[in-house]
Structure 1
Amino acid sequence: MDFTEVQAAFEQIWGYPDFRPPQGEIVRTLLAQRDALIVMPTGGGKSICFQLPALLQTGLTLVVSPLVALMENQVQELRQKKLPAALLHGELPPFERRRTLQAIEEQKLRLLYLSPETLLSPPVWQRLSHPDIQIQGLILDEAHCLVQWGDTFRPTYRRLGSVRPSLLHSKPAGTKIAIAAFTATADPQAQQTIRQTLQLDNPEQFLLNPYRPNLHLSVKIAWTPKGRKQQLLNFIQAHPQQSGLVYVRTRPDSETLAQWLAAQSLKTAAYHAGLDPDARRQIEQAWLKDRLQFVVCTSAFGMGINKPDVRWVIHFHAPLLLSEYVQEVGRAGRDGKPAEALTLISEPTGWLDGEDKQRRAFFVDRMRSQLDKAQALAHKLPPTGEINPIKKQFKDSELCLSLLHSRGQLTWIDPFHYQILTHSQATKLPDTNNQAIQHMTQYLHERHCRWQFLLKNFGFASQKTSSPCGQCDNCTRR
């Protein structure tokens, strides 16, 4: 297809006269059915990069996405444009699920959004594996979910590297399925993990600098729990009528903090993955339409929800991983106008408020416990086996198997069958999680330019900001 036709289709569907760099190059790559790794900051227009090639080609493109809210928002927009897209997830009513499965069999769809768990569920996998179902592409959205063991980790992502070879095994000879992995944050180590786990074939790489010259970064010490709440309240009251987000790390924290802020006559609500789907949609819409000034949320909020005029993001609790931090602050100032990202932290000793230290220690202890469980389970499991019976027999076995895979001690023969490697076969992989936690701690106590620290950490050390950058607390103090 001539690229002028591609641009014409782009303008006809989305109304834009031309692509934003590097959208055009990514579209060309996917139309050529080449593998790709795309690291594009939040708000960079990544969904268009895979939606347009899927709509212009025959066959089905599978979009694996971690959050129901993200899938629903994108599919709703595509359906409003009368485009052949659908989604599958565990919360769908049975009649809608049957209708989508039938549309797959009749090959009426170009885009199918689904979670990794739904993709690998027997009824869906059997249909997609049928020789007559033409699949031309596999998109991994939010690919950082397979890398680090933070709040966003999904064990099933570790099995996705065997999806393409298994699908090709069931398709006619000569079939080609390209894979494109998209994420807003991935440092060089994470990029390597994504390439290896997904078995990307000489992928084209599009790595965009995360620097946002309109986004001011700051970190402030809160000396006591009461003082932390007061600093939050002072900030919000100093920014009346401005749309924002307050991030916490647990569901109970989101609810108790939202209740306290609502009692101060502020328009807000708590949002977390434990809410039912209707409640989540209502909160999202109320925030998007400015009926709520801000949302007190966990990491479950924000992916795929586009609100350009977010003026501030506050981390009431700092995330444990730098990648999560960059994801979350990137939701502010997408319209290019000035925006603020404030993180509140306990004083360094933890004597007056030990909550931050306790939270970090809990996370590290949980990781260590999971690794110990995985190693113990490895001695109980058969050297080769099928995951579904194993999941029924051993508690937390899917997480343990994924952990063994991440440590180079296990391989997936196909998405359902594993092989535990002998000591001589195993490849010792670095423990990136402890490194990631240390980088986040270093960032919070950084005394020089925060943007320079982030750029260096994400592999953009050569692309320096002006110094001082003027867009972080450390540089503005100087």
Structure 2
Amino acid sequence: MHNPLQVLKHYWGYDGFRPGQAEVIDSILSGHDTLALMPTGGGKSITFQVPALAIPGICLVISPLVALMKDQVKNLQKRGILSAFISSEMQHWEILQQLDNCILGDYKFLYIAPERISSDLFQGKLKFLSAKVNFLVVDEAHCISQWGNDFRRDYRLIADIRDAIPRVPVIAVTASATASVVADICEQLHFRRGYKVFKTSFERKNLSFVVRKTDNKLMEICHILSSVPGSAVIYSRTRKGVEEYAGKLRAAGISAEYFHAGLESTIKTERQTDWQKGNIRVLVATNAFGMGIDKGDVRLVIHTEFPDSMEAYYQEAGRAGRDGKRAYAVALLGPQDITDIKGRPSKTFPTIEYIKRVYEALCNRFQIAEGDGEGAVVYLEEQQFLRDWHFDKGRLRASLEILSLSNYLRFEPYPDTHPYLRYDQPRWTLDRFLEDDSPAAQIVVAVLRNYEGLFSDGVFVSIDLLARKTGLDSLQVAKVLGYLRNIGFCYVPPRKNPRITFKMIRVPLERLSISTASYDDRLAAFKMRIEKVVEYLETQGCRQEFISEYFGMEGTRCGCCDNCLRKV
């Protein structure tokens, strides 16, 4: 075993650990199941990466976002650490290759999305992989809890891996979890007797929390940006909102771009990279942006509308000032915002009857008869569906999530899908085209070498794979694939519509049963979170102290939030 401090120095160049990290690492290396709660920017990844490098074997990391996995693997590889990830974006043979590399090679980290755990391919390889696993890590562990704000059903499957490798310690890390969520995480992950829970102070002494009342949010944003130099993130709740704010900021002469889940993956990557490099000052985004970003010099995070929970707000606001220098987290509050926030449970949380109407409309839209439909996969044209059936988006999404929790269907709001390519002309008609050295020819050659079926059934291709094989960037690949339509190819771009998989046959409405845990408990938890949001926005006390106490920590006056400064 290597000394953890030596590992830290060798790979990261640091002479010492941040507060709280060493205790977590000692617990892990002592074989205890461990839950670490650390604020955003507190160095959570170090707490499991260092011990994993200190002992033989490979660390298996369950992570919720493909972008987050890619970023962590990229950073590890830069340090000369063999690491890999698997996700639904990859082809079957790519996943197989990565798993075999981890089983047969000297890889130290394998990142995997929770949705891949139940796949036959992963389950088949798990028995070989389990002999090498030294730790099982659950990143963003609050997602496993039924009380958490970002519940993901597939996180519950992690316990199955735990049972397959019972000797291996489990490490769960998150930046936001209340006492009830902490208890639920430990229960759902089957933590063994003697487990440890570590809570690092949620105080961010360099981060000033501010609530600013205004009648004109755009004018206030421009005023704040003129007063606080440096990189900024502005959060808005809707795609339409982020696009409008970005456009108006550009019109005001401010370098800004928008980011949301509806953008092509290549465009999202391009905009995030431009923002990280400082080519764009302000990124206006929905909550689809931010998890795992590696940018320490964000001076300002502004919320035009407040999230539905303090957990979500703290995660997003905490992306400011990760370099330890002065930064600001500003929540803008319009005249009607408090009333609107208080009304969210009744406006956004559907009734049982509403959920049944959604289920019936969904089955009718896709012509699924009673007693039929199990295993059917459909893509929902959401805007048309909303118009045809007079639903609103918030309650539709909530209804689909509750139907998912009740096991009637699987709802994926932002599915990972691939472009589709097929060539219907005779093979010989491509010969002259392939002699060219154009980007289009390079991509077709790469498709022919890496996929089968281009001239028959067609193929689903990976933009990232084609970029690696051709040396082109992802944005170029996406553009060239679209161009191939002009020379006889059938091309279908990646689907943006939500994907729904029916997990059982259609049942009559009188037999549609929504469990208490799926509905009543979820509604009660939502109302409680909203109450705390309103309490934070209206408090006259220290905002940092309020946040610390919300997460079960002792808090002290920060001296730098708007309320503290008002009392000086």
Q: Secondary structure in 1 aligned to 2:110? A: strand
**Structure 1 spans left out of the alignment, 5+ residues:** 169-174, 375-387, 406-415
Q: Secondary structure in 2 aligned to 1:453? A: helix
Partner of 2:549: 456
Partner of 2:75: 77
Q: Secondary structure in 2 aligned to 1:471? A: coil
Q: Deviations over 1:109-144 (max 9, x none)?
A: 221111111222221222123477432321111112
In structure 1, give the amino acid aligned to 2:350.
D
Matches within 5 A, 1:257-296: 257-296=245-284
> How far apart, CA to CA, are the structure 1 residues paired with 2:119 and 2:112?
11
TM-score (norm 2): 0.68
Change (3 A) 1:258 1:361: farther
> How far apart, CA to CA, are the structure 2 residues paired with 1:93 and 1:15?
36
Partner of 1:205: 197
> How far apart, CA to CA, are the structure 2 residues paired with 1:403 and 1:456?
31
Partner of 1:134: 132
> How far apart, CA to CA, are the structure 2 residues paired with 1:249 and 1:349?
13
Whose radius of gyration is greater, 1 or 2?
Answer: 2
> How far apart, CA to CA, are the structure 2 residues paired with 1:434 and 1:163?
34
For residue 186 of structure 1, report the CA deviation from its aligned partner. 0.8
Change (3 A) 1:366 1:158: farther
For residue 149 of structure 1, report the CA deviation from its aligned partner. 7.3
The match for 2:310 among 322, 325, 332 is: 322
Partner of 1:172: none
Q: Deviations over 1:226-269 (max 9, x none)?
A: x12221222223334x1111011222322222122222222121
Change (3 A) 1:49 1:341: same
For residue 24 of structure 1, report the CA deviation from its aligned partner. 1.7
Q: Does the Cα contact within 8 Å between 1:43 and 1:306 map onto a contact in 2?
A: no
Partner of 1:193: 184
Q: Does the Cα contact within 8 Å between 2:117 and 2:158 map onto a contact in 1?
A: no
The match for 1:117 among 115, 123, 127 is: 115
For residue 83 of structure 1, report the CA deviation from its aligned partner. 1.0
Q: Does the Cα contact within 8 Å between 1:247 and 1:314 map onto a contact in 2?
A: yes
For residue 404 of structure 1, report the CA deviation from its aligned partner. 5.5
> Mean Cα displacement is larger for which, 142-151 or 244-253?
142-151
> How far apart, CA to CA, are the structure 1 residues paired with 2:117 and 2:189?
15
Partner of 2:510: none
Change (3 A) 1:15 1:389: farther
> How far apart, CA to CA, are the structure 2 residues paired with 1:114 and 1:60?
13
Partner of 1:25: 23
Partner of 1:385: none
Partner of 2:348: 363
Change (3 A) 1:294 1:95: farther
> How far apart, CA to CA, are the structure 1 residues paired with 2:155 and 2:228?
40
Matches within 5 A, 1:97-116: 97-116=95-114
Q: Does the Cα contact within 8 Å between 1:333 and 1:339 map onto a contact in 2?
A: yes
In structure 2, give the amino acid aligned to 1:363.
T
For residue 325 of structure 1, report the CA deviation from its aligned partner. 0.6
**How high is the sequence identity, in percent, across the aligned residues?**
33
Q: Deviations over 1:287-329 (max 9, x none)?
A: 1111111211112222111211111110011111100111111
In structure 2, give the amino acid aligned to 1:176.
R
Q: Does the Cα contact within 8 Å between 1:162 and 1:198 map onto a contact in 2?
A: no
Partner of 2:418: none
Partner of 1:13: 11
Partner of 2:419: none
> How far apart, CA to CA, are the structure 1 residues paired with 2:349 and 2:184?
21
Change (3 A) 1:349 1:301: closer
Q: Does the Cα contact within 8 Å between 1:391 and 1:398 map onto a contact in 2?
A: no
Matches within 5 A, 1:179-190: 179-190=170-181
Q: Does the Cα contact within 8 Å between 1:33 and 1:137 map onto a contact in 2?
A: no
Change (3 A) 1:449 1:197: same
The match for 2:527 among 431, 434, 444 is: 434
Q: Does the Cα contact within 8 Å between 1:243 and 1:309 map onto a contact in 2?
A: yes
Q: Secondary structure in 2 aligned to 1:129? A: helix
> How far apart, CA to CA, are the structure 2 residues paired with 1:10 and 1:313?
30
In structure 2, give the amino acid aligned to 1:472.
C
Partner of 2:34: 36
Q: Does the Cα contact within 8 Å between 1:41 and 1:184 map onto a contact in 2?
A: yes
Pair 1:475 & 2:464 matched:
no
Q: Secondary structure in 2 aligned to 1:365? A: coil
The match for 2:220 among 231, 234, 248 is: 231
Change (3 A) 1:449 1:10: closer
In structure 1, give the amino acid aligned to 2:566.
R
**Structure 2 spans left out of the alignment, 5+ residues:** 360-372, 381-396, 408-502, 504-512
The match for 1:447 among 540, 545, 548 is: 540
> Mean Cα displacement is larger for which, 42-51 or 152-161?
152-161
Q: Does the Cα contact within 8 Å between 2:341 and 2:534 map onto a contact in 1?
A: no
Q: Deviations over 1:404-440 (max 9, x none)?
A: 69xxxxxxxxxx9xxxx9x9x99x9684332112111
For residue 75 of structure 1, report the CA deviation from its aligned partner. 0.4
RMSD after superposition: 3.6
TM-score (norm 1): 0.80
The match for 2:291 among 303, 318, 323 is: 303
Change (3 A) 1:266 1:372: same
Q: Secondary structure in 2 aligned to 1:286? A: helix
In structure 1, give the amino acid aligned to 2:348.
F
Partner of 1:341: 329
Q: Does the Cα contact within 8 Å between 1:332 and 1:340 map onto a contact in 2?
A: yes
Change (3 A) 1:282 1:330: same
